[in-house]
Amino acid sequence: MMDWIESTRRLLEAQRDMGIREFWVRSDAWDPWKVLRREVEGCRKCQLWRSRRRVVFGAGDTEAGIMFVGEAPGEEEDLRGEPFVGAAGELLTRMIRAIRMERREVYIANVLKCRPPGNRDPLPEEIEACKPYLFRQIELVKPKVICALGRIAGGTLLGTSLPLSRLRGKVHFALGTKVVVTFHPAALLRNPGWKRQAWEDMKLLRREYDGLELRR
Ligand code: URA
Ligand code: SF4
């Protein structure tokens, strides 16, 4: 919608008619992150807007070299409006530390910005409605590597419905960026036996970030 052009023109004309000859525009009004955040926070493109308490936009360094992508906010995230602040988030923090980084040095977002009731899996139509926001975040951050957490994030970024076992353990290329897929931290909490493989994925992620050739 281009209504804002028309309304801005009317506003300026009204001011001109009142004799206002000079005005200042706050340059951050056009900050693409602010524009995007405002759009997402008012979003009603799928049914999840009805049950959400807070929109969980994303957080971290908007110029990060590594971006983590989860599935959808859980209860704690929905309450606080921040990604990965619950139990899975604590494990994610440890995974980030394992590659010698801090949370504030990476960017963290989810495929869905609103919580599915009862933490059910996202529906295909919810993913379709919401993924343009994630893609725009990726376009703005321009990370060197994306780490997709779980099948939903991996499948959404790579445009596939293959199982996680077929996605993890290698480097993909999508959306102009290298993508490494690993287990979702919530799945690792339920299946601690998978942590060794997750550790391999994190080492792969770090190697790709450092730009080294893969040694096996
Ligand atoms: N699980 C996710 O996928 N994302 C969050 O933000 C929290 C839990
Ligand atoms: Fe909009 Fe995404 Fe929230 Fe659905 S989940 S209402 S598409 S922000």
**From the CA of 83, how far away is ligand 1's center (Å)?**
6
The C-alpha atoms of residue 93 and residue 59 are separated, in whole angstroms, by: 13
Tokens of 170: 């290698």
pLDDT in tens, 1-36: 568 888 889 988 998 999 988 877 766 778 999 999
Three-class SS of residue 115? Answer: coil
* Span from the CA of 136 to the centroid of ligand 2 (angstroms): 14
Q: Is the CB of 109 under 6 A from ligand 2?
A: no
d(CA 66, CA 108): 9
Report pLDDT digits (tens) over 83-131: 999 999 999 999 999 999 999 999 999 999 999 999 999 999 999 999 9
- Please tell me if the CB atom of residue 70 comes closer than 6 angstroms to any atom of ligand 1: yes
Q: Is pLDDT at 213 greater than 80 in this prediction?
A: no
pLDDT tens, position by position, 37-90: 999 999 999 999 999 999 999 999 999 999 999 999 999 999 999 999 999 999
Determine phi and psi for 190, rounding to 5 degrees: -80, -30
Mutation test of ligand 1: which of 71, 78, 91 has the most ligand atoms closer than 8 Å to its C-beta? 71
Ligand 2, atom 3, lies closest to the CA of: 114
**Predicted structure pTM score:** 0.88
Tell me the best of 84, 91, 92, 108 to mutate to test the pocket of ligand 1, counting ligand atoms within 8 Å of each CB and taking the most. Answer: 84
- Average per-residue pLDDT for the chain: 95
- Give the distance (Å) from ligand 1 centre to CA of residue 12: 44
Say what the pLDDT of residue 10 is: 92
